[in-house]
Structure 1
Amino acid sequence: MLDRDQLETFATVVEQQSFDRAATVLSITRGAVSQRIKALEESLSTVLVKRERPVAATHAGEVLLRHVKALRILEGSALQELTPTAKPHAPVSLAIAVNADSLATWFPEVLKELLMGQLVALEVIADDQDHTSALLARGDVIGCISTSAKPADGFLAECLGAMEYRCYATPAFASTHFPSGLTVPAVLSTPAVLFNRKDSLHDDFLKRHFGFAVERYARHYLPSPVALLEGVAMGAGYGLIPSWQAAPLVEAGQLVDVCPNEREMVDLFWHHWDLEPPMASDITALIVKVARNSLEPSVGFEPSTAQTGPSPSRPSGHKAEPQGGASGQEASEQQ
């Protein structure tokens, strides 16, 4: 049996990324924190944390951190089920990672049900999908939305559906800059609005449209789905926007589709623990249900099965492309 105090101390050190901060959170001395970590590592015969700045979990530590997170969720679920009429128990703290465009479109329906249920204290981390998978592997989150179809060992990837993107601009911008449509000379002389420097969706769209890569064009970077939409709507440039998000402005005549015969379909996947506690399983079921009611069906994926396959890079969602022990303990623990 693993010692629960040692487990909680280990998890707190990793979460706080510091022995000193963990000691403050746990209201014990820093020496006690160090002793508990060493005792836990000795009992498992493996190094669990890298004594660096900041402190980080080793691969073995990541496995153990997921175990501690699962224990917390199980315990919280059990207390809420065993004593539902007693004084309210503290909500179970958990974190999930979601891509930005999902947060701006269909995911708020999930948040409403989770937050209003008052059973969880939820942390939503918005990040690039390449990084959300890393958050899940480290045990920082219980699940993440990604464009990668391939789950890591010990995880499942549920196909959620596809998000449609179209290339929009204001009518005035389109008539001024694209009088003959989307041509190479027009693209080279016209600013596009992108999410950030990791955003390759626009490059992919242009490559597919022209049949070759187009790289030397002006770009505005607005790292928020709302800011990106507003940038296009004010006439600062043109860009790829989820059609669901742009629909009200299109209906009002404020935006037009620059390439009405073309669209980008981005498959999204929910990655989660293979063996997850009931509360986490309920969250997975909720996310899958809302996504499949909101997104378009993915082409080439069975919605009820975990998938394996490739991965790309945009914080909002992307077409799938190919993915690509500690030492000096006491001296380095001065974090």
Structure 2
Amino acid sequence: LVDKLGALDYLFVSSKPFAEKYFPNGVTRSALLKAPVVAFDHLDDMHQAFLQQNFDLPPGSVPCHIVNSSEAFVQLARQGTTCCMIPHLQIEKELASGELIDLTPGLFQRRMLYWHRFAPESRMMRKVTDALLDYGHKVLRQD
């Protein structure tokens, strides 16, 4: 069984000092070739798709490090170590405080999220499903 939860928007972010160092003239194709980014694992192609779509950079052309922790993405970006794609919902406070900045305002990667489970559902699993769908519909984009 599969239900759509909604969409999550990922932003390309960094700290202000990182942006000043690597993007003094804005985020450009040539500047991106020198700026370190992170990916969750070797299957994570989100930043590559974003950079290819918006800056015509082929996959593998930007220096990329593997970091298997979404929380570490936030910490590394806050510390000025990298720029990366992070879900907007995960960094609302950091964006509001200016600790992180959106490097490409108006540009983002939207990913649809789905809840998968086995059928038939137990009563307990149905309660979990209902709660998850209710919350997902409240906090995720529904367009």
TM-score range, shorter chain: over 0.9
In structure 2, the residue matched to 1:78 is none
- CA deviation map 1:153-183 (0-9, x unaligned): xxx2100001111010111111221122222
Find out whether 1:236 has 2:86 as its counterpart. no
Deviates more, 1:221-230 or 1:179-188: 179-188
With normalisation by structure 1, the TM-score equals: 0.41
Deviation for aligned residue 1:273 = 2.5
- CA deviation map 1:88-127 (0-9, x unaligned): xxxxxxxxxxxxxxxxxxxxxxxxxxxxxxxxxxxxxxxx
SS at match of 2:114: strand
Name the aligned partner's letter for residue 230 of structure 1. Answer: Q
Higher strand share: 2
Find out whether 1:205 has 2:47 as its counterpart. no
In structure 2, the residue matched to 1:267 is 112
Deviation for aligned residue 1:213 = 2.2
> Which structure 1 segments of 5+ residues have no match?
1-155, 300-335
CA distance in 2, matches of 1:279, 1:247: 32
Name the aligned partner's letter for residue 109 of structure 2. Answer: E
Q: Aligned match of 2:36 in 185, 191, 211?
A: 191
With normalisation by structure 2, the TM-score equals: 0.92
Name the aligned partner's letter for residue 215 of structure 1. Answer: G
Does the CA contact (< 8 Å) of 2:41 and 2:67 recur in 1?
A: yes
Q: Aligned match of 2:139 in 294, 302, 321?
A: 294
Q: Aligned match of 1:253 in 98, 114, 133?
A: 98
RMSD (Å) for aligned C-alpha atoms: 1.4
Which of structures 1 and 2 has the bigger CA Rg?
Answer: 1
Name the aligned partner's letter for residue 17 of structure 2. Answer: A
SS at match of 1:208: helix
Where has structure 1 moved over 4 Å in runs of 4 or more? none
CA distance in 1, matches of 2:137, 2:36: 35
- CA deviation map 1:245-296 (0-9, x unaligned): 1111111111111000201111000112232121111111111111111111
Q: 1:1-335 to 2 correspondence within 5 Å?
A: 156-211=1-56, 213-297=58-142, 299=143
CA distance in 1, matches of 2:106, 2:127: 39
SS at match of 1:273: coil
Query: Sequence identity of aligned pairs in percent?
Result: 27
SS at match of 1:180: coil
Which structure is richer in relative contact order (CA contacts within 8 A, separation 6 or more)? 2
CA distance in 2, matches of 1:287, 1:259: 31
Name the aligned partner's letter for residue 88 of structure 2. Answer: S
Deviation for aligned residue 1:239 = 0.4
CA distance in 1, matches of 2:83, 2:120: 44
Does the CA contact (< 8 Å) of 2:5 and 2:113 recur in 1?
A: yes
> Which structure 2 segments of 5+ residues have no match?
none
Name the aligned partner's letter for residue 131 of structure 2. Answer: L
Deviation for aligned residue 1:212 = 5.0
Name the aligned partner's letter for residue 226 of structure 1. Answer: E
